[in-house]
Amino acid sequence: MAEYNRVSECVGLITLRNPPVNALSAAVRQGIVDTVERALSDPNVKSVVICGQNGIFCGGADIKEFGSKMTGPPLIPMIHAIESANKPVVAAIEGSALGGGLELALGCHYRIAHSKARLGLPEVSLGLLPAAGGSQRLPRLIGVPAALNLITTGRHVTAAEALQLGIVDQVTDHNTVDAAVKFALSVAGRSLDPRRISTHPCPQQPDLDALFEEVMQKVRQSARGAIAPIACVQAVRAAATLPYAQGMERERELMATLFTSGQARALQYCFFAERAVGRWRMPSGARWDTSKPRPVHKAAVIGLGTMGRGITVALAQTGLSVIAVETQEKQLMEAKQAISGMLERGAKRRGVAPALDRVIYSQNIQAVADVDLVIEAVFEDIALKTKVFQQLSAVCKPGTLLCTNTSALDVDQLASETPNPELVVGMHFFAPAHVMKLLEVVYGPRSSPQAVATAMQLGKKMGKASVAVGNCRGFVGNRMLKPYIEEAFFLLEEGATPELVDQALEEFGFSMGVFRMSDLSGLDVGWRVRKGDGLVEPGTASGRSARIRQGRRYSPLGDLLCEEGRFGQKTGRGWYQYDKPGSRVARSDPWLHSFLGAYRAQHGLVARRIDHQEVLERCLYALINEGFHILDDGIAAGPEDIDVIYVSGYGWPRHRGGPMFYANMVGLAKVLERLEHYQQLHPEVPHLQPSSLLRRLVASGSPPIHKWGEVIKKLHSQL
Ligand code: NAD
């Protein structure tokens, strides 16, 4: 787990060996302790180099060990022993030095990095802080402001930035271990006192209190209820104001609080859930490990509106050649300009050349004849999409995968209109498609495993959290959103305001409440869908019957706003008012409040006081309940799939783990009891009727989330 060699006669070389990232498992820690002792006690050894095998220094703690009892030597004394060694210890950083890996390197006296290496303390993203001295050493090394930035965001830095910040002493383009050995020889015998970071105070910082106050305020705002970033600030404050030993004690206390918090569990669950969704499986039995993806070198995008532009950028940035097709000349010109701008800005951010020449524009669908995969993003109109798919089937070379970016149309229906339905899948991106992390890959009963594997692999290459889901109205994300939005409308009818509902949801941790989000994406989008479903009846008929449509409770509030031309931010008016169309700052609108008052009076509704708890229970439990239906229907393979979709695409607070994990934390019996309670009060609302899977889970003693699969399987095998 840590191999020892003597090189250049007097350098002890310690190589960490724990694929894939040389994580600091108990065995690796033991290996380091033993080999360091050996190097220090060998009189022929003048200096020591620590490196990792396979071009990676160390990816940090072994997260799999978090849940179990600690064994092996602890990290803190191990790093301390390295720092207090009487021979220089040099870290040779290739690949990455992250978390505990960087903390280990900070305990070394010198750090040499390869120019392609990345360094960081990402513990905050797992609900923790760098608690092996990282929060105490880094500020001493690079100063409080820079350390605060790195530790509270968890961002990784390049070797060049690490050199500039003073984290590393040297960057090399050549063999890092050779450079480190050479360096170690050159510093042998020098005094090590100035190199022991823990023995120094933090660099002087004027007006420390004001700095911490400002940072704390910013962090609180962006953390949206997450506690780890705040603990990170407190730990760095301890480094800046206390002697090292007391700072370490504070680091330990803060870590103990975080470690046992539900938030750390939620964040670690997300970490594993994101990996689990890559191991997709379909009800047919097809799986990720038995389905081989086809290579995709050249792709096409049809329709260059909002979505098509972002998808083109995402594909080109992944290194694919893209044929971008748009029938409207004006749209094509605008799209070309917009796509080039996005590619240029993206390239500038990443310090690479823009991939402008990877995109070829055309008004003619014939141009896609030789592509490997097509993503259609024309208007949401089944007749138009069917026509496009038929054209594509005629034009494309045999075997080309045909994907649709539809938000809600039936992927099976589209597939059945083509001669090769096995080549059709949904690739449901989210706006803006080159930024948003989520991709739902929608398979139908006839989609081939190879088609799903190809779309999933392409999503992964694009850096998306790709989740394979079955075909149904709204797929997973939008299907669950429907009852959530409906409950929010019902709450307005009963006496809430958009401000109250949004505040409750934003305090819960959502980046935006339901009404602010609806103003952002446009109220007309849902209006068009409801019209298509035959739910919209123009005008304001009064009484209860006007609010029952297709046999269930319906709120026409959104339709009435659209009839007033209030489409949200784009028109400067929606659930809120804005300074001008397109402005983003939502302000409370007195017109809306009197409109709600008049609406309630007209429908004989008496406003009552609604508290945050009711908002959360009605909106979130309705959404979660739909999640259970989705699991029951086999549309999502497991709760992790739903949770990844909500965390990466719908602004669900990551520190709450996703809706299904949240239900598990709250307690399934409680969720069931509250749904039953609200269902009794609102019997005309079917989505409050608890799902049979939820009932089954509660009847089976509310097993923990990783055991839900057994209950689902049992249920399916009995059907
Ligand atoms: P949009 O109206 O912005 O763009 C559609 C584009 O398709 C237009 O430029 C139009 O000229 C072009 N077009 C129409 N017929 C065409 C044809 N035969 N060949 C080539 N181009 C053609 O629409 P959008 O918002 O980008 O949505 C596109 C699809 O993506 C829809 O199915 C929508 O439901 C889905 N979607 C949208 C969002 C979103 O937030 N906007 C999110 C996810 C999915």
Q: What is the pLDDT of residues 272-320, one digit of tens each?
A: 999 999 999 998 899 999 999 999 999 999 999 999 999 999 999 999 9
CA count, 13 A, side-chain hemisphere, 412: 9
Q: Atom 3 in ligand 1: which residue has the minimum CA distance? A: 305
Distance from Cα 29 to the centre of ligand 1, integer Å: 54
377 lines ligand 1 (CB under 6 A): yes
Six token digits for residue 364: 């003619």
What is the rounded distance in angstroms from the CA atom of residue 588 to the CA atom of residue 498? 9
Q: Atom 15 in ligand 1: which residue has the minimum CA distance? A: 378
307 lines ligand 1 (CB under 6 A): yes
Residues 6+ apart with CB under 8 A from 717: none
- pLDDT above 90 as % of the chain: 90
Rg from Cα positions in the chain: 29
Distance from Cα 376 to the centre of ligand 1, integer Å: 8
What is the rounded distance in angstroms from the CA atom of residue 475 to the CA atom of residue 440? 8
Distance from Cα 334 to the centre of ligand 1, integer Å: 14
Predicted confidence (pLDDT) per residue in 249-267, tens digit: 999 999 999 998 899 999 9
pLDDT score of 713: 78
Containing H/E element for 6? strand 2-7
406 lines ligand 1 (CB under 6 A): yes
368 lines ligand 1 (CB under 6 A): no
Exposure string for 482-502, b = 16+ CB within 10 A, e = fewer: bbbbbbbbbbbbbebbbbbbb
Q: Atom 42 in ligand 1: which residue has the minimum CA distance? A: 430
Closest C-alpha to 314, from 278, 338, 356, 343: 343
pLDDT score of 399: 94
Residues 6+ apart with CB under 8 A from 714: none
Q: Atom 31 in ligand 1: which residue has the minimum CA distance? A: 380
378 lines ligand 1 (CB under 6 A): yes
Which residue out of 379, 404, 413 has the highest number of ligand 1 atoms within 8 Å of its CB and is therefore the one to mutate? 379
What is the rounded distance in angstroms from the CA atom of residue 337 to the CA atom of residue 303? 15
Q: What is the SS3 assignment for 49-89?
A: EEEEHHHCCECCECHHHCCCCCCCCCHHHHHHHHHCCCCCE
305 lines ligand 1 (CB under 6 A): yes
308 lines ligand 1 (CB under 6 A): yes
Tell me what the mean pLDDT of segment 142-153 comes to. 97
306 lines ligand 1 (CB under 6 A): yes
Predicted confidence (pLDDT) per residue in 308-333, tens digit: 999 999 999 999 999 999 999 999 99
Predicted confidence (pLDDT) per residue in 545-559, tens digit: 778 898 899 999 999
Phi-psi region of 543 (alpha: psi -120 to 50; beta: other; left: phi over 0): left
pLDDT score of 231: 98
Closest C-alpha to 196, from 81, 101, 93: 81
The better pLDDT of the pair 145, 545 is held by 145
Six token digits for residue 485: 């939005």
pLDDT score of 525: 86
388 lines ligand 1 (CB under 6 A): yes
User: Is 540 a residue whose pLDDT tops 60?
Assistant: no
Distance from Cα 432 to the centre of ligand 1, integer Å: 13
Distance from Cα 405 to the centre of ligand 1, integer Å: 8
Strand 298-302 relative to strand 118-120: parallel, antiparallel, unpaired? unpaired
Predicted confidence (pLDDT) per residue in 198-246, tens digit: 999 999 989 999 999 999 999 999 999 999 999 999 999 999 999 999 9
Closest C-alpha to 162, from 208, 107, 106: 106
pLDDT score of 715: 62
Which residue out of 325, 332, 407, 409 has the highest number of ligand 1 atoms within 8 Å of its CB and is therefore the one to mutate? 407
167 lines ligand 1 (CB under 6 A): no
Distance from Cα 85 to the centre of ligand 1, integer Å: 64
pLDDT score of 717: 61
Other Cβ atoms closer than 10 A to 190: 12
Q: How many residues does the chain have?
A: 719
Predicted confidence (pLDDT) per residue in 468-477, tens digit: 999 999 999 9
pLDDT score of 330: 96
Distance from Cα 513 to the centre of ligand 1, integer Å: 26
Phi, psi of 696 (to 5 degrees): -60, -40
Other Cβ atoms closer than 10 A to 279: 13
pLDDT score of 589: 97
Q: Atom 22 in ligand 1: which residue has the minimum CA distance? A: 303
Ligand 1 atom having least distance to the Cα of 309: 26
What is the rounded distance in angstroms from the CA atom of residue 472 to the CA atom of residue 411? 8
Distance from Cα 622 to the centre of ligand 1, integer Å: 30
Q: Average pLDDT, whole number, for the chain?
A: 95
304 lines ligand 1 (CB under 6 A): yes
pLDDT score of 245: 97
Ligand 1 atom having least distance to the Cα of 335: 9
User: Is 484 a residue whose pLDDT tops 60?
Assistant: yes
What is the rounded distance in angstroms from the CA atom of residue 164 to the CA atom of residue 162? 5
**Does the CA dihedral 111-112-115-117 come out positive or negative?**
negative
What is the rounded distance in angstroms from the CA atom of residue 489 to the CA atom of residue 600? 12
Distance from Cα 305 to the centre of ligand 1, integer Å: 5
CB 129 within 8 A of CB 258: yes
Angle made by CA atoms 539, 544, 547, in degrees to the nearest 5: 55
pLDDT score of 100: 97
Predicted confidence (pLDDT) per residue in 80-96, tens digit: 999 999 999 999 999 99
302 lines ligand 1 (CB under 6 A): yes
403 lines ligand 1 (CB under 6 A): no
User: Is 69 a residue whose pLDDT tops 90?
Assistant: no
Tell me what the mean pLDDT of segment 58-73 comes to. 85
Ligand 1 atom having least distance to the Cα of 404: 32
Closest C-alpha to 379, from 353, 345, 342, 407: 407
Does the ipTM exceed 0.95?
yes
What is the rounded distance in angstroms from the CA atom of residue 671 to the CA atom of residue 620? 10
User: Is 37 a residue whose pLDDT tops 60?
Assistant: yes
Which of helix, strand or coil describes residue 441?
strand
**Does the CA dihedral 294-299-303-304 come out positive or negative?**
positive
Ligand 1 atom having least distance to the Cα of 365: 19
User: Is 719 a residue whose pLDDT tops 60?
Assistant: no
What is the rounded distance in angstroms from the CA atom of residue 33 to the CA atom of residue 132? 15
Exposure string for 585-605, b = 16+ CB within 10 A, e = fewer: ebeebeebeebbeebbeebeb
pLDDT score of 532: 86
pLDDT score of 537: 81
Predicted confidence (pLDDT) per residue in 368-394, tens digit: 999 999 999 999 889 999 999 999 999
Sequential DSSP letters for 382-428 = HHHHHHHHHHHHHHSPTT-EEEE--SSS-HHHHHHTSS-GGGEEEEE
pLDDT score of 542: 65
**Does the CA dihedral 349-512-706-478 come out positive or negative?**
negative
pLDDT score of 337: 97
Which residue out of 368, 405, 436 has the highest number of ligand 1 atoms within 8 Å of its CB and is therefore the one to mutate? 405
Distance from Cα 357 to the centre of ligand 1, integer Å: 23
386 lines ligand 1 (CB under 6 A): no
Q: Atom 39 in ligand 1: which residue has the minimum CA distance? A: 431
Beta bridge partners of 281: 287
- pLDDT above 70 as % of the chain: 98
Which of helix, strand or coil describes residue 360?
strand
pLDDT score of 545: 72
Sequential DSSP letters for 593-624 = HHHHHHHHHHTT-------HHHHHHHHHHHHH
**pLDDT interval class at 539 (50, 70, 90):** low
325 lines ligand 1 (CB under 6 A): yes
Ligand 1 atom having least distance to the Cα of 331: 9
pLDDT score of 543: 64
**pLDDT interval class at 639 (50, 70, 90):** very high
Six token digits for residue 430: 């989210």
Ligand 1 atom having least distance to the Cα of 521: 40
pLDDT score of 629: 97
Tell me what the mean pLDDT of segment 530-546 comes to. 77
431 lines ligand 1 (CB under 6 A): yes
Q: Atom 1 in ligand 1: which residue has the minimum CA distance? A: 305
- Preceding peptide of 139 cis, ω within 30°: no
**Residues acting as catalytic residues:** 103, 123
